[in-house]
């Protein structure tokens, strides 16, 4: 859980992705309609991306750990078999 925002969660798994989620995001009816329209690709195919998903980080293999930086809000460090990454998203 993010130490500066109690509704934001960072998750990593066997799919070699690190994702950030904001569980406080709830769309009202107007936003839901806009989100539904925006989730149709140029080819007409519907994409399933929940509004709570803030960020997906890919490119590491076998992610072992992730930690929020204790002094820089929104900064994360992740370690993996392929190395480590430090990044800060704009949305947290």
5-54 pLDDT, tens digit each:
899 999 998 999 999 999 988 867 777 666 666 666 667 666 677 888 88
Exposed e or buried b per residue across 36-49, where buried means at least 16 C-beta atoms within 10 angstroms of its C-beta: eeeeeeeeeeeeee
- Cα–Cα dist 54/92, whole Å: 9
pTM for the complete prediction?
A: 0.73
* pLDDT at residue 89, as a whole number: 79
In the chain, the DSSP E strands lie at: 8-12, 17-22, 53-58, 63-68, 75-80, 83-88
């Amino acid at each position: 859980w993010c130490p500066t925002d109690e509704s934001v969660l960072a998750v990593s798994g066997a799919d070699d992705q690190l994702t950030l989620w904001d569980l406080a995001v709830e769309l009202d009816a107007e936003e839901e309609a806009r989100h539904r329209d925006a989730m149709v690709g140029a080819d007409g195919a519907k994409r399933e991306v929940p509004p709570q998903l803030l960020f997906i980080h890919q490119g590491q293999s076998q992610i072992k750990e992730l930690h929020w930086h204790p002094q820089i809000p929104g900064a994360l460090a992740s370690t993996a078999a392929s190395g480590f990454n430090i990044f800060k998203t704009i949305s947290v």
